[in-house]
Amino acid sequence: MQTLYQLLFLCCYLSGAIYGQTGTLPIVTTQPAFPTADAEVTLIFDLAQSKDSRVKGLLGKTDDVYLWSGAGSTATGNAFEFQPAGQTNFNAPYASGKMTSLGNDKWQIKLVPRTYFNVPAPTPIRRLGVLLKSGDGKAQTEDLFVTIYDNRLNLVRLKPTQRSFFIKVNESIPIQAVSSASTTNFRLLVDEQLVLDSTIVTTAGPDTLNYAVSANGPAGTQRRVILQAKAGQETVADTFFYSIAPTPTIAELPTGLRDGINYTAATRGDVGRVTLVLYAPKKQFVHLLGEFNNWTIDPAYLMKRTPDGNRYWLELSGLSTAETAFQYLVDGTIAVADPYADKILDRNNDKFISATTYPRLKAFPEKAQGNTVSVFQPGQVPFVFQTASFQRPAVNTMVVYELLVRDFVQNRSYQTLTDSLAYLKRLGINTIELMPVTEFSGNDSWGYNPIFYFAPDKAYGTKDALKRFIDAAHKQGIAVVMDMVLNQADYEFPYVKMYWAGDRPSADNPYFNQQATHPFSVFFDFNHESPDTKAFVDRVCKYWLQEYKVDGFRFDLSKGFTQKNTGNDVAAWSAYDASRVAIWKRIYDQIRTVDPTAYVILEHFADNQEEKELADYGMLLWGNHNGDFRGATRNAQGDFSGLSYQKRNFQQPNLIGYAESHDEERLVYDLRTNGVTEGSYNVKSLPTALDRAKLAAAFLLTTPGPKMIWQFGELGYDLSINTCSDGTTITNDCRTAAKPVRWEYYQDAQRQKLYKVYSELIKLKTTVPAFASTDFTTDFANPVKRLTLRSSSGTVFLIGNFDVRPQTVNLGAPSAGKWYDYFSGQELTVADNNQPIILEPGAFHLFTTSQLPKPEAGLIPVAALPNLVTAVDDPIHGQLSVSPNPVDHQTLVDVNSSYRGVVEFTVRDATGRAVRVVRAQKTANQLKQTLDLQSVSPGIYFLRIQQGDWQQTLKVVKR
């Protein structure tokens, strides 16, 4: 007795031919083998057989797995025509569909179809549409179908699995079939000739037939095989066809052609002429399927094979100049799109792309096999770039803005992204780094699951819309860098599918390792020592530099470009790897041959010796200081000394330091969630968190070398990286989920001040030579941190207090003399660079020896340094006086300004401890406030007067 394997996974179902009989286990089976509408059926799922990348989130679970399903009244129509009651929210658990774990990633559920799906009698049920998902809907299988049978004699062919296929001459064809009866007469006819007549009797059905026939005939011969089953007075039949594998014509590839789509009209004078070339070593034959032959296997479209056996090619002529969809059918088994196509169509996902995002998107051809087809279009008009004189920013002035189109603009389109350039121009950044936009699985992704490398993903718009964005960015003086994912590819990438061993790339795959060589692998791992991978990488990079005029690449998981197998040992993987260094130097050299100034940015995080060697060679290395900045701004427990490329002994400023990227927890969220409280100073409050974000930005952006900002960091984005689409936070499960787009932050006055602080700091970095100096000193280890920049145009000194308490410290300025406090505009005289000052918590001062244009007032809560100030020009915040001073018992503070609201008076001793705090409401220009200091010990004190965002500190002497 055998359980019937009812179906294969939808994403890999081939209605056409197969070559050979390598079977694949199904994802879902049923008990009984022939389920009916009105009897209980057990659905059993084996998730290990799924090839959908989204299933990874289900593997290893012992709970939180649910059935999402429907029933259809026709065999090929809507399989979700009827749905169970209460199944409405895919992103929430569905109690009635809760699955029972069988262990080893196998799950089951029992149901009666008519009852479960509320299908009224006598409406038939012909099939079920099913998938498994996690409770929150973030992980799932592909769509699957289960056949529902009438209560009569049924016959299902298990082998061969396809209705029509190719096979080598004299090869055996295993035939396996199941009948629903317990006594069945099986008959087998090949081209009307009877080759089997056998009756099988079992004690309880179903009956199973196992037989084999030998393929015979000359190449191209097709045979029809009829399988009949008879029980009692009922007879049913099933038909399949096999053809003897063809022999391709051997012909050299015409000169000048390359892998992929070649528009050959220029050489042959026919606009509708295209030559298609597929690199497919070790494959036996390839047919073209497409709209030009109604997706049928036709000897006229059998591709020619080059003498070395590596390539297949065929020229098509007389084609329409409209878009034409096509596929390659490899060995009669595997239907793939062209790996070099600049546009693909997706059966499962294109229907969800709006016409606004992608106007007039070509419909997926229903007769095509599988889920993806490629598109060519003879005679298409090339895009004309308007910005020809763009100059890329120098590395040491780069300010990179990393963004994900999906989460940066509400409608997720290149066009709206283009419209947002004015915002980024005002901010002052000079480089945009786009998270991956090459075609990826699905429409909703970070993009690190690529499937086609020459096609921009249609979920964001057309290829011309992307080119318009790049052109418009260049017009604004902004470079565009692509996040390129060449460490891994997802299953739909043709060179994964064409060389596949059931659950991983095959041993003869010319591009991929069977098993990743490092512990952080996802999807399928490129072998970067393979000559084929090298050629592919070079072609990808050259294409985007020339066709789209991108300014360089940020390579994802560059440490994974290794063939040194380190298993799960992260330390060994991160250790110096000479072969990996050689791989990267080769890629860098090839890119620079195409474009001598293109940026090559690595997400590497390897041993510093290796990073230094790559940086000194010319590559830019990501410098992750998220943990350091979060710790420092939370409670001063962070040392970001590694932000300095000189601390890492790099010869050049080739370290892109950052406090946030797509991969880390958001800074202001962390402050508002985990910040500490000291007295009335609460890091978790939004105003304080934003002020501390200004402090972090000051040290990040002024430290020499290129820097990076993650989208909306300049507005204090304070939702967790683990925020789900419904606003809840689930650790890890929602890490890559779509996030709320918060453009309304820009209308918030407090957040806009943070934006303006970023803008001022970026302006300094990109225009003032001192901020690109190679002569600088950092002191980032202590709660009070300092940075000194020296240049021929002047000196810059930054000091900031990351503690949550006031700090009395020596100023530590690099020299005595005249200085200017950039954000307040105050002129200072430093008589002794060791003179003591008080820094309020979160306060910072940016001093310059050259006077620079003063920013907008009130951007930061500036606390004046009264013992340094020699000139004050601040009519907005008025005048302050304290009398008497020195004081015996009481003193009167006179505040005269246009400010209205609460004024806070804080008296601190030399250690920073608050000894008096008084608050008063200011309702007029003048406020006189008495301070009682009778019980205070004699000595020097510092009085801070805070009016809204403005702070000023005066020295008070108690006698």
Cis amide bond preceding 160, omega within 30: yes
Greater model confidence, 951 or 877 = 951
What is the rounded CA–CA span in Å between residue 805 and residue 785?
14
pLDDT at residue 9 tops 50: no
Q: Which residues pair with 700 in a beta bridge?
A: none
pLDDT at residue 7 tops 60: no
DSSP 583-613: HHHHHHHHHHHH-TT-EEEE-----HHHHHH
| CB environment 24-42: b (16+ within 10 A), e (fewer) | eebbbbbebbbbbbeeebe
pLDDT digits (tens, 9 = 90+) for 281-329: 999 999 999 999 999 999 999 999 999 999 999 999 999 999 999 999 9
Q: Which CATH class is domain 10-147?
A: mainly beta
What's 665's DSSP letter? -
Choose the weakest-confidence range: 259-268, 466-475, 607-616: 259-268
Choose the weakest-confidence range: 44-58, 227-241, 480-494, 773-787: 44-58
- pLDDT the model gives residue 21: 32
Judged by DSSP in three states, 747 sits in: helix
What is the rounded CA–CA span in Å between residue 951 and residue 861?
6
CA distances from 763 to 244, 703, 768, 826, 852 (A): 71, 14, 8, 20, 11
pLDDT at residue 865 tops 80: no
Q: Does residue 953 contact residue 865 with C-beta atoms inside 8 Å?
A: yes
CA distances from 774 to 372, 652, 784, 790 (A): 52, 9, 23, 8
- Average pLDDT on 341-353 reads 96
Q: Which CATH class is domain 260-376?
A: mainly beta
Largest separation between any pair of C-alpha atoms in the chain:
122
What's 302's DSSP letter? B
Q: Does residue 427 contact residue 754 with C-beta atoms inside 8 Å?
A: no
Q: Which CATH number fits domain 155-244: 2.60.40.10, 2.30.290.10, 3.40.720.10, 3.40.50.620?
A: 2.60.40.10
What's 505's DSSP letter? B
Question: Tokens representing 294?
Answer: 């109604």
Q: Which residues contact 389 (CB under 8 A, 6 or more apart)?
A: none
Choose the weakest-confidence range: 450-454, 460-464, 875-879: 875-879
What's 715's DSSP letter? G
pLDDT at residue 11 tops 60: no
| CB environment 786-802: b (16+ within 10 A), e (fewer) | bbbbbbeebbbbbbbbb
Q: Does residue 662 contact residue 799 with C-beta atoms inside 8 Å?
A: no
pTM: 0.81
What is the rounded CA–CA span in Å between residue 705 and residue 654?
7
pLDDT at residue 778 tops 60: yes
| CB environment 891-929: b (16+ within 10 A), e (fewer) | bebebebebeeebebbbbbeebeeeeeeeeebeeeebeb
Q: Which residues contact 589 (CB under 8 A, 6 or more apart)?
A: none
Q: Which CATH class is domain 879-958?
A: mainly beta
What's the mean pLDDT when you consider all of the chain?
91
Domain boundaries, the chain: 10-147, 155-244, 260-376, 772-863, 879-958
- pLDDT the model gives residue 498: 97
- pLDDT the model gives residue 203: 63
What is the rounded CA–CA span in Å between residue 517 and residue 529?
12
What is the rounded CA–CA span in Å between residue 396 and residue 391?
14
What's 248's DSSP letter? P
pLDDT digits (tens, 9 = 90+) for 515-553: 999 998 889 999 999 999 999 999 999 999 999 999 999
Q: Does residue 927 contact residue 902 with C-beta atoms inside 8 Å?
A: no
Give the residue from 133, 135, 84, 132 showing the smallest Cα distance to 111: 84
pLDDT digits (tens, 9 = 90+) for 841-864: 999 999 999 999 999 999 998 766
- pLDDT the model gives residue 24: 55
Residue type, 661: S
- Exposed / middle / buried, residue 232 (Cβ in 10 Å: 0-12, 13-18, 19+): exposed
Counting every residue written for the chain, the total comes to 959
Asked if the domains at 10-147 and 260-376 fall in one CATH topology, the answer is yes
DSSP 884-913: SSSBSSEEEEEEESS--EEEEEEEE-TTS-
Q: Which residues contact 232 (CB under 8 A, 6 or more apart)?
A: 153, 181
Using DSSP bridges, classify how beta strands 552-555 and 620-624 pair: parallel, antiparallel or unpaired: unpaired
Place of tokens 């108690």: 958
DSSP E strands in 517-586: the ranges are 524-525, 552-555
Place of tokens 């399903």: 69
pLDDT level of residue 2 (50, 70, 90 thresholds): very low
CATH code for the structural domain at 772-863:
2.60.40.1180
CA-based angle 206:102:522, to the nearest 5? 110
Question: Tokens representing 220?
Answer: 């191209």
